[in-house]
Amino acid sequence: MPVSLTTLRDLKQRGEKFAMITCYDAIFAQTMSQAAVDCLLIGDSLGMVLQGHDSTLPVSMADMVYHTRCVARGNHHAFIFADMPFMSYATVTDALKNAGDLMQAGAHAVKLEGGGWLAETVTQMARCGIPACVHMGLTPQSVNVFGGYKVQGRSADAAAKMVEDAKLLEQAGAALLLLECVPTPVAKRVTEAVSIPVIGIGAGPHCDGQVLVLHDLLGMYQGKPARFAKNYLQGRDSVKDALSAYVQDVKSGTYPAPEHGFSQ
């Protein structure tokens, strides 16, 4: 059975975890399907891991459409998310046009970075049949505002704002949320505050789903590995075995372990 938004909502309701991995081409999409990965994300991290940039900012809509088409061709059953790149959703009009292009390229949902200010955008997307996942916390497209890749939501005020934004976005029609580099207790509060599924990366074990960048999962790091990275290829014979082990660990709650998360 193909994974759908309904599958992900049901999993949350039953308290069962789901696994997502970033994917950029057809052969990995096929291998991830064989490894029973629930969700594939065509992340704009491709600007760093594939294109060699030092941020995600140079990634274009054409890049994202191209890689979404490649992944969709190799995919069998997973639910596909495609990232909206930097400045592709600065206005509601741009957001609808660009999200539509990603859906036509084979995405089942789009992901965009921000907070409460995206409420009107996600409402209009939902109206047009486009499920939106809002990426909160450390949003890499805002690295120049943050002054680096830093944990977000550590102060009491910032944590409360994150919970409020999450509720607002759910009410506005967001289909999912994704939290990156958020203290474990804050991610738990957000996940419990909404009924839509919440995916985490560097956000502790309480989120409904987990995502890892493919290259981090295969031990291919650009410099120092992120705290939440785990090399699943180590001690295994094949990429497929590594992917399957990650899926199993997410579903059993073994990954992420406490050391992969951040304190408040």
Residue 211 lies near ligand KIV (rule: CB under 6 A): yes
Residue nearest to ligand KIV (CB): 43
Which residues make Cβ contacts (< 8 Å) with residue 132, sequence separation at least 6?
99, 109, 110, 111, 112, 118, 121, 122, 125, 126, 173, 174, 175, 176
Q: x/- string (CB under 6 A) for ligand KIV, residues 6-25?
A: ----------------x---
Binds ligand KIV by CB under 6 A, chosen from 23, 29, 35, 45: 45
Binds ligand KIV by CB under 6 A, chosen from 3, 11, 17, 44: 44
Residue 83 lies near ligand KIV (rule: CB under 6 A): yes
Give me the least distance between CB of 56 and ligand KIV, in Å please.
Answer: 6
Listing DSSP states for 196-250 in one string gives S-EEEESS-TTSSEEEE-HHHHTT--SSSPPTT---SSTT-S-HHHHHHHHHHHH
Residue 83 or 101: the one with the smaller Cβ distance to ligand KIV is: 83
Active site residues: 180
Q: C-alpha angle with apex 108: 136 to 131, nearest 5 degrees?
A: 50
Residue 191 lies near ligand KIV (rule: CB under 6 A): no
Q: x/- string (CB under 6 A) for ligand KIV, residues 118-157?
A: -----------------x----------------------
Listed ranges 39-47, 97-105, 157-165, 222-230: which one lies at the site for ligand KIV (CB under 6 A): 39-47
Using the CB atoms, write b or e for 7-44: b if 16+ within 10 Å.
bbbebbeeeebbbbbbbbbbebbbbbbebebbbbbbbb
Q: Which two tokens stand for residue 21?
A: 């991995």
Name the residues that contact ligand KIV, by CB under 6 A: 22, 41, 43-45, 83, 135, 178, 180, 201, 211, 213
